[in-house]
Amino acid sequence: MPRLDLQDPGYLAAQLRAYADGTRPSGIMAQAVSLVPEAAHAELAAYFASAQGPEDLSAATSADTAEGAELAQAGTREVPACAACHEGPEPRKGPVLDGQTRAFLDQQLRLWRDGTYAHDKLMSAAARELTDDDIAALAAYYAGRR
């Protein structure tokens, strides 16, 4: 489960709209958001953005975080670095990854890499060539950033 408290309310409201209109697929979230009036999306997003989430207590080695930092900054002509969409000031293209749990980040990157998620072509391309070790390093790096 992602830490929603790390996200900007505007980003969360946009994701609720995407679940509601089907542009972001998810059976469970599409069903859940169908029960919420569209007028309440902003209020719901603000609530979740302000809630206190759990901390990830899993330890990362300095080798993992160093490799993850290098991977997060590496990009190609076709695919920008992770940092280009997930770090820095608002507005970001993607969600905040800093402080998400390692397990969540690891799972999400595998879902993108393996083609289970395909609703964002750029993210699919970014994850396609990641190895299991790359995923572990990126998950450790972003989980360790607060």
Structural domain contains residue 57: no
Q: Phi/psi at 105 (nearest 5 deg)?
A: -60, -45
Specify the pLDDT at position 140. 94
Q: Indicate whether 45 and 87 sit together in one domain.
A: no
pLDDT by residue (tens digit) across 108-125? 999 999 999 998 999 999
pLDDT by residue (tens digit) across 126-137? 999 999 999 999
> Cβ(87)–Cβ(99) under 8 Å?
no
Count of domains observed in the chain = 2
User: CA of 106: how far to CAs of 35, 100, 101, 129, in Å?
Assistant: 30, 10, 9, 14
Q: Indicate whether 46 and 112 sit together in one domain.
A: no
